[in-house]
Amino acid sequence: MGKSFSRRFWVLGCLIVAIFFFATPDTSLAQGAKDCGGVPCPGTSPAIWPDRSAAVNYTIQIFGWNLTPQGDYDIVVVAPDASASWAPVTADVAGELLSAPYTHVVGSTLGTYEVRLYASPWGGDLNQAPVAATTFFHNNFSN
């Protein structure tokens, strides 16, 4: 009787813990965390990220958050061959590029692309530290 009684309490205890664990709502997004491609964005620093890890049909979208509200930026895409292209972007009133992501058309150069965000006006110096940066990949399978 002692072993059966202990086993029932052990099973009941595990069941209570499982119910508590799975029934507790995840409030991380409800408390203002942003969704960065399926995972909450870390910290409170400005961040940018691609909508996927590899370009599809030669296009990629770049999202951002924690930027200066209605701030002007230059978004720079550095190709694997070290060529760079850039365009002006503006954050929305919440400091996000989420409502209007930047869409980049990738060239034929295969490899890892780096995306950098600089405060506008950017002087063209790639040695300057960006406000935020991310990468994505372009390969034969992504087009």
Across residues 86-102, what is the average pLDDT?
A: 84
- What does pTM read for this prediction? 0.66
| 45, two tokens | 């620093």
| Coil vs helix vs strand at 142 | helix
Owner of token pair 């595990």:
14
d(CA 88, CA 127): 19
The answer to whether the CB of 67 falls within 8 A of the CB of 96 is: yes
pLDDT of residue 143: 44
Domains of the chain: 35-142 (2.60.40.1930)
Whether the pLDDT of residue 25 is over 50: the answer is: no
Strand runs (DSSP E) across the chain, as ranges?
A: 35-36, 39-40, 47-50, 59-65, 72-78, 84-90, 102-105, 111-119, 132-138
pLDDT in tens, 26-60: 433 333 445 555 555 556 789 998 888 887 777 88
Can you name the residues that pair with 1 across neighbouring β-strands? none
